[in-house]
Structure 1
Amino acid sequence: MLTTRHGVRPLATGDLEAFLALAGQDPVVNVFADYRARTTHLEPRWLGGEMWGRFEGGELRSACHVGANLVPVQATAEDAAAFAERALTRGRTVSTIVGTQEAVEVFWNGVAAGWGKPRETRWNQPHLEIDTAPAVTPDPLVRRTTRNDMAELYPACVAMYTEEVGLSPEAGGGADLYRARVTQLMNRGWSFARFDDGRLVFKAEVACATPHAAQIQGVWVPRDRRGEGLAAAGMAAVVELVRAEVAPVVSLYVNEWNEPARGTYAKVGFRETARFATVMF
């Protein structure tokens, strides 16, 4: 049953096939929502929120993941405006809005008056992909992390997150939850690092993955080791490992102002395929 005049309603398990077909129109850009749908089967108790769908003539035309992260899926400006109208009826429960630039901008313009001032907005974030062998030699010392690495890995993850987001993941008593997330990625084989004499000097993780694509997060090198080529060789190793064992396409998105990171990814062979935007609370 449609719940608004714009044809928006929460999706359920019976909509999974239609949602996967929708996400499959651009399976790399939509990897996060695709992954969430596959792992939760669109059950709200597992989603920790809802997946909204917008229908036209009985066909699913766009969607919107609404959990801790709000992520439009294949949403035009009109779709994003319809999702914003629905979002205003429930108030803000999300900590981040992220997705393709136009959809995020239109959505934010629709909810800004009612959702309060964001902590930060990032309107130009190149979305990058690689589906070939890396263009630089992979670092042979990059490997999957294990529990024995936690003493070095966890502080590096906290440092990366704080540097990138501007807020510690341990703030407000979040240390246990964040440590659990780091451990979860490690247990899945999605955490990679290089160590020199026991010290972590490069790391990266797979944030989410489907049979089509994997999205990388948390790329980090300690400040005193930057400029040595560790990031390029390390990312090349991650690309090689992930493409061989996780998914055929590797993606990520990066802040436009982060010239060193963008240069590193270009050197490895990543190419821009879309523009993302992020609103953080």
Structure 2
Amino acid sequence: MRTTTRSGVRPLGASDLAEFLALTDRDPTVNVFAAHRARQTRLEPRLLGGEVWGRFVEGELVSACHVGANLVPVEAGPEDTAVFAERLLGRGRTVSTVVGPEQAVRSLWSHLEAPWGPPRETRWCQPHLVASGPPLVEPDPLVRPSRAEDFAALYPACVAMYTEELGVSPELGGAADGYRARVRQLIQFGWSFARYEAGRVVFKAEVAFATPTNAQVQGVWVTPERRGEGLAVGGMAAVVALVRSRISPVVSLYVNDWNQPARRAYDRVGFEQTATFSTVMY
């Protein structure tokens, strides 16, 4: 039976799924992570590995917050983030990353920074880019979906990308088995795309989250000795074409503002900025 809340915050469950997805549909590209997780888990805490909190005003779901390893605000303004922060401070920090639209993350963080202490890193300006049509340049014909037999070549490239991007290895603290399972899962889903040469990955990218209308790409990487050759431009054009034909019609990603080579590549492919994300990492 559905638990009713006229006003206030409570964990959402399966009976709230339709209302929550309607909330994410207010900006389906920005909210693709939350919508993907909801569709995947039906908002069951056991499957989420955490909870999704909803804020209700006069019986209407007005905002939400994914609370797991990732803390992700959904359609949350300053009043919403203040309420979510108050609830978060009542339980202590359990998240490793705060990520989402810049204003919502900054607002959350204004309440959490002092009690939670200094993070490992903050990235406040991450342009959120969207490609909703065919790529503007010719796709690299050698970029293809990864297959199970590619795992031995793909896995070291995934570890290298993660370590370079986040400054820590995904295998740290005994997490290698879980990360290996994730890479295998992406291959199984058909969400891993790469250019293989002589048994090595020279370009790769993955779909991290997807709904029937939107897909978010992460893990874009070119092997260091081949950078500057234009592999990212043709590779991302291929990824856009493959994702739009196989998974979802709208492709998005977010990039660090200081990564000018990547931003130039995405611009040539046809990505356009629609928002700005921020990430706080512990």
TM-score relative to the length of structure 1: 0.97
Residue 94 of structure 1 pairs with residue 95 of structure 2: yes
Residue identity matched to 1:235: M
- Give the match for residue 168 of structure 1: 169
Q: Which residue of 1 aligns with 2:216?
A: 215
Partners in 1 of 2:122 and 2:202 — Cα distance? 29
* Larger deviation, residues 106-115 vs 37-46: 106-115
SS in 2 for 1:172: helix
Q: Does 1:113 align with 2:114?
A: yes
**What CA distance in whole angstroms lies between the structure 2 residues aligned with 1:248 and 1:55?**
32
2:63–2:74: 8 Å Cα contact kept in structure 1? yes
CA contact (8 A) 1:2 1:9 kept: no
- Mapped partners of 2:274, 2:75: distance in 1: 14
1:82 and 1:269 mapped to 2: Cα distance? 38
Using the alignment, how far apart are the partners of 1:41 and 1:57 within structure 2? 24
Residue pairs, 1:241-280, within 5 angstroms: 241-280=242-281
Tell me which residue corresponds to 2:128: 127
Indicate the larger mover: 111-120 or 130-139.
111-120
Q: Deviations over 1:70-97 (max 9, x none)?
A: 1000111111111111100011111100
- The runs of at least 4 aligned residues of structure 1 exceeding 6 Å deviation read none
Which residue number in structure 1 is paired with residue 227 of structure 2? 226
Please list the CA deviations of residues 23-75 of structure 1 after superposition, one character each: whole Å capped at 9, or x if unmatched. 00000000000000001000000010000001111000000001111100011
Partner-residue secondary structure (3-state), 1:162: helix
Q: Quick one: distance in 2 between partners of 1:136 and 1:78?
A: 43
* Partner in structure 1 of residue 76 of structure 2: 75
Counterpart residue identity of residue 236, structure 1: A
- Deviation, 1:196, is 1.7
Q: Deviations over 1:163-189 (max 9, x none)?
A: 000000011111111111101111100
**Aligned-pair CA distance for 1:6:** 6.8
Q: Percent identity?
A: 66
Q: Which residue number corresponds to residue 148 of structure 2?
A: 147
Correspondence 1:200 to 2:201: yes
- The CA distance in 2 between the partners of 1:69 and 1:109, in whole Å, is 17
Greater shift, 191-200 or 25-34, is seen at 191-200
The gaps in structure 2 that reach 5 residues or longer are none
Number of aligned residue pairs? 280
